Amino acid sequence: MKVEVKGIGPIDDAELEFTDSVVIVGPNSSGKSTFSSIFYFLVDPFFINISPILGSRLSQLRIGALDLKDEVEVDIRELVQLNEDRIVDTLKTNIEMIIDRRAILEGFEISSEKFRLSLASRNVEVKGPGKLKLRVEYTKGDSSTFSISYGDVVKASGNEDRVREELVSYAISRYFQLEDWIPTIFLSTERISFAQLLPLINYAVFSPAHPSPLKPLALDPLRYTITGEYNVFGHRVVFQNFPHEEIRVFKDGKDVGNWVASGVYQFSFVKAYLSYPWIKGLVVEEPEINLHVDAQIEAASEIARSSKKMFITTHSEWIAMVLAYLMKDRVKVYEIVNGKTEERKINEDGWLESLVTISPVERKALEDMIRKVFQ
Rounded CA gap, 60 and 225, in Å? 35
Q: What is the pLDDT of residue 200?
A: 54
Q: What is the pLDDT of residue 205?
A: 54
- Alpha-carbon distances of 325 from 151, 182, 220, 280, rounded to whole Å: 40, 27, 30, 23
Domain edges within the chain: 71-103+123-177
DSSP state of 258: T
Packing angle, helices 293-305 and 262-275, rounded to 10? 10
pTM for this predicted structure: 0.89
Enumerate residues 6+ apart whose C-beta is below 8 A from 288.
Answer: 296, 299, 314, 315, 316, 318, 319
Give Cα 374 to chain centroid, integer Å.
30
Q: Could you report the average pLDDT of every consecutive run of 10 residues in the chain (375 residues)?
A: 95 94 93 94 84 56 76 91 93 90 92 96 96 89 77 86 86 94 89 56 49 66 88 94 86 88 90 92 94 94 96 95 95 95 95 84 83 84
